Amino acid sequence: MFRIPSIHHYCNRWCERCTLRQLCGYYQAKHQGEEVSAEDWAERIPEPANTNEFADINLAELEALPEKLAQKEARGDFDPNQSSILPLYDRWQQYFSQALSLINEKWEQATKKQNAYVDNPSFMALWNARETLLQHRNFVGPKLHRALGGRFDAGGEIPAQSDWNGSAKALILVLNEIESVINQLPKAYPENDILKAWSLCNADFREQLQNAFPNYMKFKRPGFDEI
C-alpha cells in the first residue's frame, strides 16, 4: 500500500488525532503491527552538502573576514549551545512542569465528582489540555535542539527545504497547539497566575523561533502540505 514518504519525520507523533495515519508507515508499523517496506519509509529530506563558508572570498576581500566571523559568532551560528533561545526554553520548561502539575491536580479533583462531564463546562477543556501537554512533553526539546543544530551546521544560512527548517516548523506548530489549549484554561481558572505567565512565555518562545527560522513556513512537509 502507498505510504506518504517521510511523513513521520515532520509530525507531532500524535497518531490518534492524525487524519493521515492510514497513509503513514510509522503509524502502521508502531500501532498496527504491519511490516512496512523500505519504499514506504523512504528517506528524509536530504541535508545540503557542507560547503566552504568562505569559498567566495578572494584576496581583496580578506580584510572583511574577521568582521564576518564576529557577526556569525554574535548570532550564535557557530555554537547552538550559545543560542539565546535556550534560556527561554529552560524557563518555558519550568512553566510547563508547573502548569502540568496544576492541570493534573484539577483533573483529579474533577474526576472524583459524579457527572463531572455533565456538570462541569470546563471538563473537556481540562481534558484536552492534559492530553495535549502529556503528548508533547518529550517533543519540544529534541525538535528545538535538532533545529538549532542544523542552523549551526549551515552557518546560519538555512535552505527553506531542509530538515532543520522542517524541525522548526513542526516545533512551532506544536507551540501553536499548546497555546490554544492554554488560552482556554484561564476562563476556567482565572485566579491562576501560572497559566497566564506560561502563555506569555510560550508566545515569546515561539517568536524567538520565528526570528531564528524566518522561512519555516516555506518548508513543505512531505504529504502534509500537498494534501
Alpha helices for the chain (secondary structure H) = 25-31, 38-41, 65-75, 85-111, 116-119, 123-136, 140-153, 163-182, 193-212
Q: Are residues 130 and 200 in the same domain?
A: yes
Give the pLDDT score at 174.
Answer: 93
Q: What is the pLDDT of residue 64?
A: 62
Residues 98 and 166 in one domain: yes
pLDDT of residue 44: 46
Rounded Cα gap, residues 186 and 181, in angstroms: 10
Residues 93 and 183 in one domain: yes
Calculate the average pLDDT of the chain. 75
Residue 141 domain flag: yes
User: Do 185 and 90 fall into the same domain?
Assistant: yes
Question: What share of the chain in percent tops pLDDT 90?
Answer: 14
Please report whether residue 71 resides in a domain. no
**Domain co-membership, 95 together with 204:** yes
pLDDT score of 205: 93
Q: Are 206 and 176 in contact (CB under 8 A)?
A: yes
pLDDT tens digits for 30-82?
766 666 555 545 544 444 455 554 455 555 555 665 676 566 556 555 566 77
Q: pLDDT per residue over 119-134, tens digit each? A: 566 777 888 888 999 9
- In the chain, pLDDT over 70 holds for what percent of residues? 62
pTM: 0.70
Overall number of domains in the chain: 2
Helix 163-182 and helix 123-136, axial crossing angle in degrees, nearest 10: 160
- Per-residue pLDDT tens over the stretch 84-132: 889 999 999 999 999 889 888 888 887 777 665 655 667 778 888 889 9
User: Which residue, 102, 96, 98, is CA-closest to 175?
Assistant: 96
Q: Would you say residue 65 lies in a domain?
A: no
Residue 17 is assigned to a structural domain of this protein = yes
Owning domain of residue 121: 86-218
> Are 205 and 146 members of one domain?
yes
Residue 156 zone, left/alpha/beta (φ > 0; ψ -120 to 50; rest): left
The reply to whether 192 falls in a domain is yes
Q: Is there a single domain that holds both residue 91 and residue 192?
A: yes
Asked if the structure places residue 63 within a domain, the reply is no
Nearest to 139 by CA among 174, 97, 179, 104: 174
- Round the CA-based radius of gyration of the chain to a whole number and report it: 21
